[in-house]
Amino acid sequence: MLSKPHVFFLLGGPGSGKGTQADNLVRDYKFKHLSTGDLLREEKQKGGPLAQELETLMKEGKLISSDLVVRLLDSAITTYGNRRYLIDGFPRN
């Protein structure tokens, strides 16, 4: 039986040290850092079925739905196969 991944959310306002702490956790505890912004940009660059929708929403400055972000996070967790994940940038609302 596969064990469930350990998922931690990194929260805080701009300039609060999230990036520094993320780097420390990745280095010291072997977390895989998943940035929702990076995942969205990667999905857009892939040109997949969601690319046009993401492009439009990003140009208009609208928030991406939480459902879509959760699907991207789930896909990333499945792809990387790590046990410890650090989620940055979610939830946004």
β-bridge pairing 32-35 and 84-88: parallel
How far, in Å, CA of 93 to CA of 91, rounded?
A: 6
Q: Give 60-93 pLDDT, tens digit per residue.
A: 988 888 988 998 899 899 888 778 999 988 887 6
Given a contact cutoff of 8 angstroms between Cβ atoms, the answer to whether 85 and 15 are in contact is: no
Residue 39 structure tokens: 């995942």
Residue whose C-alpha is closest to residue 69's, from 9, 5, 27, 2: 9
pTM: predicted TM-score of the whole model, two decimal places: 0.80
Q: Give 7-30 pLDDT, tens digit per residue.
A: 999 988 888 998 899 999 999 999
Q: Does the pLDDT value for residue 49 go beyond 50?
A: yes
